[in-house]
Structure 1
Amino acid sequence: MGKKLLCALSLLFCVMLAEAQITQTVTGTVIEKETKLPLPGVNVLLADTLGAVGTVTDLNGVFILRNVPLGRRSFRFSFIGYKETSLSNILVTSGKELSLAVEMEESVEALQEVVIQASASNEPMNDMAVVSVRAFTVEETDRYAGSRGDPARMASNFAGVQGADDSRNDIVIRGNSPQGVLWQLEGINIPNPNHFSIPGTAGGPVSIINNKILANSDFYTGAFPAEYGNSIAGVFDLRMRNGNNRRHEFSGQLGFLGTEVFGEGPLSKKHTSSYLFNYRYSTLSLFSSLGIDIGTSAVPKYQDMAFRLNFPLKGGGSISAFGIGGDSDIDILISEQKKPERNLYGENDRDQYFSTKMGVTGLSYTKPLSSNTLMKATLAASAGSQDAQHYFIYRHVDAEGFYAVDSLPQILGYQFNQAKYSAILTFYQKLNAKNSLVYGFNNDLYSFNFLDSARVLQDSGVDFSEFTTRWNSQEQAVLLQPYVQWKHKFNDRLSLVSGLHSQYFSLSKSFSPIEPRAGVAWQMGKGQSLNAGVGLHSQIQPTYLYFYSKPGASGLYNREMDFTKSIHYVASYAKMVTANIRFKTEVYYQYLFNIPVERNSSSFSLVNTGAGFSRFFPDSLVNTGKSRNYGIEFTLDRAFTGGYFFMLTTSLFESKYKGSDGVLRDTDFNGNYAVNALFTKEWTIMKDNLIGLGTKITTAGGRRYGPADPVASEREKEVIYVDETRNSLQFPPYFRADIRINYRINRPKLSHEIAVDLVNILGIKNVLKLSWAPDQTDPSADPIRREYQLGFLPLFYYRVDFSL
């Protein structure tokens, strides 16, 4: 009797446990990789459960998979005549439905189910990409310790990439200047998508792009396909995802980097249209407005937003409206300091008022023209602006040893506004199982409005005459970029990609008629692959430089600057060491030419610019500079299986250049090596909850610099280096260790997550730069001092996700 009762109670407990188990619905679309057309009839299977949990896609390639258990899940997609595709260890939570976007590639060899699995974590979204490309997901940006949910900071973990500055997300790709990176959103070349951006840079302290709005995207570090132009270093090809068209879902988050709200859901369930939006406001600014002391008067104030509306059409087409935008401002009031203080974000001898704005909005239309051709057309408008006012501080030390301000004359004021109107037309055409084409054009109409004036500092004080104008321009220009790409698959293991890109910029009348690109990919068997790529790439210069004129000069003597050009050669080898561990190495050589350098003999070159918070004012520029980058990269990574993940990347490189003086020197970014080690472990506790622990360790060679000229520095009130010995010295190696801890609680239709990023947990003092900072309380102190990067920085957030 006792045994029967025990069995009955056990059975009842199991039934109650099964009823209490929380499940979620997983939805998504499956499209063909070459044509981007939907694939109906694809078998979708939850691959890591004993029960038969599966479904098939409908006529629009859409699937709905119900009753999926929470946690890390794997999915398998199969279809006769196509290579089987697997998505492994995708996190399923209770607060939001999971939506997957899957691309499947047709097999060449036989009309049967071909089991050649493609891992979503490694395969790029672009079918024409062969080398130097890595797909990344929103989940990855959350997983990496120290990434702060920022795609740029996340990408700095990849081989060949390193961050230039803890306080900014500029990235250095294979020794190239950060300004050589192209940002794309929905196929549109967009302005610098970061708060507090400086003209001529591609980064900033805080990203405007929120990772919650992104679909799977691609990041390129060289030899990219022909559809990408106006870049010589790398490409962020970001894609926005569609909102959930089945039910309304919302999120709220309070964190160090921002307080935000997020929502998505159906506009009309009958027509499967959807919306998605996000808004964020600076948490530090919010605390300051509430009277909470945050330890500094220089409070960064920023806000940003994003939206996407999607309207599916009959026949597999769609219309989408999208946009992102942000504005920011900060007041750095050095005049209020009573003693010298550390200041990473501006000069130490002036009050600075700085604000920026950036926005992109567009309309995209996709339409299948036939069973093997898809057209995508996009119209967009974008704009970016920077506004700065500087007031020089004349002060003395009072009897008590504190600073006292004598006067604050304005010495600088500029407003840079740049708008762009873009028209993109792309065709994806599949000729047969072996051949496919992608062709189209990318046209941009620029509108420039640059105004800048300054007073000239004198040794005895300030010339209080009228400002001297350096920029005063209102002009327009077009950048035209047609391209064509062809892919031929000899069989399922060997393929060739070739393409042509062309580029014309009307402002400088620069024309690059033919930029060839080519690549080959060979799957050698036994988990091995050998790839190679080559390409010619070109880029316009930072646009404000075309309008610069030194005080007293006549004419705009930088107007005729040509494109900077770069030839990339890349070869890679990859091998699956085990079912989950992959080893990859790439070797590359880049030859850069037509780089703007000063007409007069000097060490200056644009390859050394593009990072930091300062503009540069070179003499008249000519395209005679040269540079070369070469190196080898290693990556060993383990897919997130069994509850843990790791990635180890090592880059060994050289980056050299010649200015107009003809001397071969190290570039500013030639650190020679960079090593990243990441590890993440997750545990499931109390059945449905997750706790995660991640760490990242980074070390890299220090930035290059040279001896300072104290006389010239005193005269210019900033560090001036001895030209002949530029970059003959190197700062100590960079080292940083980060730890990330997160805890997720899942409840029916509701989830909570709290996470802490402990950045630079060891508090290592890494040198950033030299600065001019005389200490008037101690005249004997060296006015040229080292500035250090961020110390220990704890970052936190609390997020709640729920659905209706």
Structure 2
Amino acid sequence: MKTKHCIVIYLLILLGNIPANALSINTQYYQTIRGKLIDHETKQALIGANIVILNSEPFKGTASDIDGNFILEKVKIGRVSLFISCMGYEAKTIANIEVGSAKQIILEIELVESVTNIQEVKVYPKTAKHETLNKMASVSGQAFTVEETSRYSGALNDPARMVSAYAGVSSDGEGSNEIIVRGNSPKGIQWRLEGVEIPNPNHFADEGSTGGAVNALNSNLLRNSDFFTGAFTAEYGNAYSGIFDINLRSGNNAKHEQTFGFSTMGMDFTLEGPLKKGYSGSYLANYRYSSLELLNNAGVIDFDGIPKYQDGSFKLVLPTKKAGKFTFFGLFGKSNMINKEENDEETITLGKNKIESNLNIVGVTNLLSLGKKSYLKNTLAWSATNSKYQSEILGDDNMMFSALQEKYQHDYLKFNSTFNTKLNAKNSLKVGLQFTRLGFDINSKNDFKNSGSFITDVDSDGNSHFIQSFVNWKYRITSQLSLVTGVHASYFALNDDYSIEPRAGLKYKFLSNQSISFGFGVHSKLESLSTYFIQQNNENNIPYKPNKDLKMSKAKHYVIGYNNQLNHNLHFKAEAYYQDLYHLAVENDPKSKIVLLDIKEGLADYDFVNKGTGKNYGVELSLERFFFNNFYYLFTGSLYQSKFTALDGIERNSRYNGNYTANLLIGKEYKVGKKGLNRTGWNAKITYRGGQYYTPVDLTKSREAGETIYKENSEFSKQGDDLFILNLTFNYKINRKKIRHEFKLDLKNATNNQAKILERYNKATREIENGEQLSLLPSLYYILYF
């Protein structure tokens, strides 16, 4: 890529948009902070809660009204921290809210009822940023903010890339945003949106994968969300590795606001505001279009194939007086790319690959209060994905021929119903039912030898059902000790498979700033639907489907954790875990080493049986200084092992057994101008981790077959190079009256380190080539808030 052009263009844009008086501004700008306070368990409004801006001069505070709403007007722009207290509830601090001149700050704050009688009120503001939004979780959870998604270097406004900074989490070295948790396959990740499981929300996603090149979820629409790495509570099923529990924010219901953004990744528009005057409903909508083709044609970047994509998302909030609150949400994505493989002189096309994919998600949620202590939440959602892949190769007759044709269509109709009740301050109960109709139309065929006759790997269409239910009980024994128990049950109608999964978590706060926690859970996950319908021929050359009765893969999670809030800005966390994996799908061959979880993407064309086992174990450390006085850092490190055993009975390293990973995130922000109205800053992320394992290619057999053939008995026998990645980000934010400009330069792999991570066979050149980590990728951003 022509990175020097990117840097020059960024500097020209930045210099051309900074007004001459940017450093000598005498005007003070203000903004409004609005929001609503509710009980965490019942979702009821909290009346008379106090909301105070810490260290404000003069003092600024307010109280929530009869509907739980509050408003803080004429707040100086910059960063502020809120302290919220309410009689009978645990106090809460929301630290370092970035207040700009263009957009109001809209918050929805949940407080947890205190289990002890209040005799004397003492204010000790403590930041609990590390605590998850889901208070049922005891271990292995991390809340993240939208601001972190845009601030962390290398995240590219993508929550999937952002969480790779957390302890025990790593990503794919080739540049995909796949999430590897504690040595588990990315296949074990579950994505959720507004409380319902969704398909892989990434552009250019492969069959069976949970990652991709670009996330279709735009960070402009996200609100604070949770990410879990193990021992999930009972409400989460169909996952054994990690849970991405994403929430969309509500639009501003008092003022119309807009955001325009342009970057090397694309351009986007966001609109939000009230539906009508005097009504508390709101709308929020976003559309994004890829601009990579424009930049490639201009010579700024250079791709072998141009990724083209567009996506949109929305959220409508419609409160009613008697029927509760209705929320409509949606996410749409469309992407395609044509990739050409050419000879060294770029005069002859040796191969051509065409990729097309579509994503559609729409849903409606109703949140209905049932008295003062209970609520019922029902969600109906429909989602669909459609992926097509075509590969052409230059034949011996110098004519292109079709070598591979694949089509994967999936549609899901989901209904979720959850009932939550707070029996008293100590006891709460949550139960739920989840029904999913799974539709599919799958076809894959190949002719790598140019025989004129395609071999069919899978050709199935139809539907099935997946039913899940759960019960969660939280018992707050004392204000220091809490116990969460539950059970999750699931049933897959395709092959009558079922799973009963007990879960438990215990948290003990033995000092005011320190706690220990324990977690246990049994977890399971369905395989990709295409795996169940793989077609093979028996000894009589009659097609059959060997995997139709394949059962769910399972894992038992054991976790022990320690938390220490060293001071109100510094937090230390340590966890040790052991995961017992069983019922794993392995090839039905006593000599084989093939484990389904090691197959990263694409069609798993093997005869599998559920006789594999595995284990993951390790320790994780995190030290985080929350953003305070314009400075933050986060250090995470983990040591781990990830092993699998196939039918040959020999324990081996899994593909994802990197053994260790370490991250350092650090950043500093500076006030610019006489009154500090503008901001500039830098952020860095340094990553060093062990390489993943890969299988070497058998060149002779690959040439004979016309496709990649790996060396027999050598599955994942070689380890890739250790990876060093330095990501750097520089930004500048300019506040004007009702308008805000933001400029950002993000350098991913700034040192252009090129570690070898795998081998692949190039069908066009008929040679083995090394797969290397993603090279230097500069990304430019301009965002206008108005």
Q: TM-score range by the shorter chain?
A: over 0.9
* 327 and 239 in structure 1: CA distance in 2 versus 1, 3 angstrom threshold: same
Aligned to 1:432: 424
* 292 and 648 in structure 1: CA distance in 2 versus 1, 3 angstrom threshold: closer
Q: CA–CA distance in 2 between the matches of 1:166 and 1:708?
A: 18
Aligned to 2:643: 656
Of residues 500, 510, 532, the one that matches 1:524 is 510
Aligned to 1:791: 775
Aligned to 1:406, the other structure's residue is in SS state: coil
Equivalent positions of 1:438-517 (< 5 A) are: 438-457=430-449, 462-465=450-453, 467-512=454-499, 514-517=500-503
Equivalent positions of 1:151-550 (< 5 A) are: 151-287=159-295, 294-296=301-303, 298-314=305-321, 317-334=324-341, 338-339=345-346, 350-394=351-395, 406-457=398-449, 462-465=450-453, 467-512=454-499, 514-550=500-536
Note if contact 1:378-1:425 (Cα within 8 Å) is conserved in structure 2: yes
Q: Letter of the 1:430 partner, please give it.
A: K
Aligned to 2:543, the other structure's residue is in SS state: coil
Aligned to 2:223, the other structure's residue is in SS state: coil
Q: CA–CA distance in 2 between the matches of 1:316 and 1:286?
A: 48
Q: Percent identity?
A: 36
Of residues 572, 580, 583, the one that matches 2:561 is 572
Give 1:294 shift: 4.6
Give 1:471 shift: 2.2
Note if contact 2:530-2:603 (Cα within 8 Å) is conserved in structure 1: no
Of residues 122, 125, 134, the one that matches 2:142 is 134
Aligned to 2:709, the other structure's residue is in SS state: coil
Aligned to 2:398, the other structure's residue is in SS state: strand
Equivalent positions of 1:700-711 (< 5 A) are: 700-711=689-700
Aligned to 2:575, the other structure's residue is in SS state: strand
Note if contact 2:531-2:603 (Cα within 8 Å) is conserved in structure 1: no
Give 1:642 shift: 0.9
- CA offsets 1:106-135 (integer angstroms, 9 cap, x no match): 111114557575635211110101100000
Q: CA–CA distance in 2 between the matches of 1:744 and 1:118?
A: 29
- CA offsets 1:441-499 (integer angstroms, 9 cap, x no match): 11111111112222252xxxx2113x233222121111111100000011111100001
Aligned to 1:156, the other structure's residue is in SS state: helix
- CA offsets 1:708-761 (integer angstroms, 9 cap, x no match): 433333333444333423333212210010110010000111000000001111
**Does residue 61 in structure 1 map to residue 68 in structure 2?**
yes
Give 1:659 shift: 1.3
- Unaligned residue ranges in structure 1 (runs of 5+): 1-16, 342-347, 396-404
Normalising by structure 2, what TM-score? 0.93
Give 1:535 shift: 0.2
Normalising by structure 1, what TM-score? 0.91
Aligned to 2:703, the other structure's residue is in SS state: helix
- CA offsets 1:177-217 (integer angstroms, 9 cap, x no match): 00100000011110000000000000000000011111110
4+ runs of 1 displaced by more than 6 Å? 290-293
Aligned to 2:667: 680
Q: Letter of the 2:57 partner, please give it.
A: L
Q: CA–CA distance in 1 between the matches of 2:336 and 2:28?
A: 48
* 757 and 87 in structure 1: CA distance in 2 versus 1, 3 angstrom threshold: same
Aligned to 1:606: 596
Aligned to 1:36: 43
Q: CA–CA distance in 1 between the matches of 2:606 and 2:232?
A: 33
Aligned to 2:19: none
Q: CA–CA distance in 2 between the matches of 1:717 and 1:158?
A: 41
After alignment, is 294-303 or 678-687 more displaced?
Answer: 294-303
**Does residue 559 in structure 1 map to residue 548 in structure 2?**
yes
Give 1:19 shift: 8.9
Aligned to 1:714, the other structure's residue is in SS state: helix
Aligned to 1:106: 113
**Does residue 79 in structure 1 map to residue 86 in structure 2?**
yes
Q: Letter of the 1:406 partner, please give it.
A: N
Please provide the CA RMSD for this pair.
Answer: 2.0
- Unaligned residue ranges in structure 2 (runs of 5+): 1-23
Aligned to 1:725, the other structure's residue is in SS state: coil
- CA offsets 1:603-654 (integer angstroms, 9 cap, x no match): 10012123xxx51433211100111000000000001111100000001000
* 293 and 66 in structure 1: CA distance in 2 versus 1, 3 angstrom threshold: closer
How many residues were matched structurally? 756
Aligned to 1:8: none
Note if contact 2:506-2:519 (Cα within 8 Å) is conserved in structure 1: yes
After alignment, is 279-288 or 81-90 more displaced?
Answer: 279-288
Q: Letter of the 1:645 partner, please give it.
A: Y
Aligned to 2:624: 637
Q: Letter of the 1:570 partner, please give it.
A: V
Q: Letter of the 1:619 partner, please give it.
A: Y
- CA offsets 1:407-454 (integer angstroms, 9 cap, x no match): 111122121100000001111110001000111111111111112222
